[in-house]
Structure formats: C-alpha cells, structure tokens
C-alpha cells in the first residue's frame, strides 16, 4: 500500500522539478483525492470490488497531473511515477494506475473515448470524474492562465470561454456517468456561476 505521506512528498518534489503551478500541484491533488474517495464510497454498494482497488484509485487521483503534458513530456512523467511506485504497488496495480493517468484527460477522452480496462473500468471513472468535478473551480482556471503568463483580464476571458464551451457541457457531453458526479455538478455549476458573476463585477469596476 502507498502511504499518503509518500504520495504527497512525491507531488511536491515533482511540482518543484517541473514548475507545476498551484492549479495542478498538491492542492489540486488533495481536491481530486477527496472527490475520488467520495465517488468510490458512493459506488461501493453497486461495485463492492472497488474496496480492493483503493491503492489504484488513491495513487492515480493524487499523482495524475505529475505526467501532465502541459508541464512535461507525459512519457517522462510516467517513467518517474513508475520508478516511484515500483516497490509500493503490485504489478497489476502499477499497470492500471498508469493506464488511468495516461487516458483520463478531457482531451484524450474526446479524441479516443474511454479505454477498456476490464475490472478496473470503474476505478478509472472514479478518478476521471473526480478530476472533472475539480475543474468547476473558476478561480483555479484563472490561476492556471495567470501562471502561464496571461494578464488577469485575459485569464478571465479565457476561463469564461473554457467554462461555456467545455465545463458547463460535461453532462450534455455525457462525460459524467455516476449519479454522485451528475448531482454534484449541478451544485458546482451554481457556485461557478457565482464566481463568474463576482469576477465580472470586479473587472468592470476596477480594470
């Protein structure tokens, strides 16, 4: 079993090495892990075998952005994750953890669809949906754009475009499949709209 202390120490080290900003480093890992745990528990009655897959779920949830193409070569990131997890997961757990991380991104799913992961298919969706639920944070989206060099007004406009072309369409695009994720997305959408409204008022007045 991988200790959470080890997982987050690795996230901090990788974030420093590859200049992974706060929108995708340890705070994001914490948020995805929390949602993954809630999603996993919400599915246990229907899929009790998930209890035996928590090593994969928690490891993929915490580490998924440590191979993000926005910050590094995905191949290099996966290689470092593989080396880190070699003595912490068994062979199958390591294989499926890497498979989940390599195939769960929005762009990969839109391009290739969902992978066929057999008994780990639901674990994949738990981690993937957890990451999607975290993307409803409008401030996080602005933060990412700021760290990429955008001015605040540019970051706001880019974030606004992303939310109306992608994030608010997760349900209609059938990217959320669990009851928990679909219900949670409604509340998160309302909160995101409040964030957007507040930023709109701030920017009109101050800039």
pLDDT in tens, 20-70: 999 999 999 999 999 999 999 999 999 999 999 999 999 999 999 999 999
Are residue 105 and residue 150 in the same domain, yes or no? no
Whether residue 79 is contained in a domain is answered as yes
- Distance of alpha carbon 206 from its chain centroid, rounded? 32
* CATH at 110: 1.10.3210
CA distance 27 to 173: 27
Q: What is the mean pLDDT of residues 100-128?
A: 97
In sequence order, which residues have a C-beta less than 8 Å from that of residue 139 and are 6 or more positions away?
Answer: 195
Q: Please tell me the total count of domains within the chain.
A: 2
Token match 């060099």: residue? 149
Structure tokens at 77: 């990131």
Whether residue 202 is contained in a domain is answered as yes
Are residue 6 and residue 104 in the same domain, yes or no? yes
Token match 């955008």: residue? 150
Are residue 114 and residue 144 in the same domain, yes or no? no
Residue-number span of the structural domain to which 64 is assigned: 1-118
- In the chain, alpha helices (H): 4-18, 26-43, 54-63, 74-85, 91-103, 106-112, 121-134, 138-147, 152-165, 179-206
- Distance of alpha carbon 100 from its chain centroid, rounded? 11
Whether residue 129 is contained in a domain is answered as no
Whether residue 128 is contained in a domain is answered as no
Whether residue 147 is contained in a domain is answered as yes
What is the tens place of the pLDDT at every residue in 196-207? 999 999 988 655
Query: Does the pLDDT at position 187 exceed 60?
Result: yes
Does the pTM surpass 0.85? The reply is: yes
Structure tokens at 57: 């779920």
């Amino acid at each position: 079993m991988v200790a959470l202390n080890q997982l987050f120490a690795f996230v901090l080290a990788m974030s420093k090495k590859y200049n992974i900003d706060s929108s995708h480093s340890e705070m994001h890992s914490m948020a995805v892990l929390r949602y993954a745990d809630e999603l996993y528990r919400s599915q246990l009655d229907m899929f009790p075998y998930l209890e035996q897959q928590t090593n994969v779920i928690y490891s993929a949830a915490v580490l998924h952005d440590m191979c993000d193409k926005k910050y590094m070569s995905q191949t290099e990131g996966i290689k470092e994750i593989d080396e880190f997890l070699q003595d912490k997961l068994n062979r199958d757990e390591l294989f499926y953890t890497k498979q989940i991380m390599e195939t769960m991104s929005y762009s990969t799913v839109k391009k290739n669809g969902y992978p066929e992961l057999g008994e780990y298919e639901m674990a994949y969706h738990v981690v993937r949906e957890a990451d999607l639920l975290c993307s409803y944070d409008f401030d996080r989206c602005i933060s990412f754009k700021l760290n990429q060099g955008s001015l605040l007004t540019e970051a706001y406009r880019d974030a606004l475009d992303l939310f109306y072309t992608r994030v608010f369409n997760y349900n209609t695009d059938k990217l959320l499949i669990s009851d928990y994720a679909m219900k949670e997305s409604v509340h998160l959408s309302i909160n995101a709209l409040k964030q957007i409204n507040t930023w709109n008022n701030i920017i009109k007045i101050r800039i």
